[in-house]
Amino acid sequence: MAEPLLAIAGLRSGYRDVQVLWGLDLAVRQGEIVALVGSNGAGKTTLLRTISGQLTPNAGTIRFNGTEIGGRAPDTVLSAGIAHVPEGRRLFRGLTVRDNLLLGAYLRTDKAEVARDLDWVLDLFPILRDRQRQDATTLSGGEQQMCAIGRGIMSRPRLLMIDELSLGLAPRMVEHLGEALLALNAKGQTILLVEQDVLTALELSNTAFVIENGRVARSGPSAELARDPSLSDAYLAI
């Protein structure tokens, strides 16, 4: 079988005095939606930050598209094809929705294609088309999440990583965002999704990994994990 798009082995990472990931293994295949679930503090955000180059691994490998990227600078990881939509969205105050979206493409030189991608993002999230001249931080929570995801798409990543899709959003908005992710995935976008809500995560993804104390405790096809009573006992109540 071909090498996965992203292959992580034995990853150890964390912060100055705190090790958070203790030998984590994970694979994301081209074209998949992979979900990461696990309780607060399990290490999901730390994992995404390590992949995107904000944290340097202490040990282990992160292979992306056949190349080792562990410890590379965030810009290098972004140009290699990984976009990270951070927890809390982090849009730029004082910049319009349109400019926030265009910031996602700041490393690209194919301007005509960038304009086409902007149009496609505004088709994917029509509300952003109406609000494109507005300061992005004045959007509603759900609209901000659309803008943050749109900004990620604007780098035309091979892998789109989203941290906490549904946090603080109403169920109808989560459903709407989920549909947008499925539409993106149907066009070939590979997605790594961190999601607190286990039902939403398993519903949207093909494969899921349960992270516990910085290691993978369970993994497998999402449909199988969704039927597993031991998983539902432990995690559906989070």
Ligand X SMILES: Nc1ncnc2c1ncn2[C@@H]1O[C@H](COP(=O)(O)OP(=O)(O)OP(=O)(O)O)[C@@H](O)[C@H]1O
Binding site for ligand X (CB under 6 A): 15, 18, 20, 38, 40-46, 87, 196
Report the sign of the C-alpha dihedral through residues 124, 125, 128, 129, in that order: positive
Comparing CB distances to Mg ion, the nearer of 5 and 194 is 194
Contact 13, 70 (CB under 8 A): no
Quote the least distance from Cβ 105 to ligand X, whole Å. Answer: 27
Contact 168, 87 (CB under 8 A): no
Contact partner at residue 15 from Mg ion, ligand X, none, CB < 5 to 8 Å by partner kind = ligand X
Cα of first residue to Cα of last residue in the chain, in angstroms, is: 36
Quote the least distance from Cβ 187 to ligand X, whole Å. Answer: 28
Quote the least distance from Cβ 208 to Mg ion, whole Å. Answer: 16
Comparing CB distances to ligand X, the nearer of 22 and 120 is 22
Interface residues for Mg ion in 37-76 (CB under 5 A)? 44-45
Our CA dihedral for 201, 37, 205, 181, rounded to 10 degrees, sits at 60
Residue 151 vs residues 3, 63, 116, 147, 229: alpha-carbon distances, Å:
28, 24, 14, 6, 38
Where does this chain touch Mg ion (CB under 5 A) — which range of 7-15, 57-65, 73-81, 86-94? Answer: 86-94
* Contact footprint for Mg ion (CB under 5 A): 44-45, 87
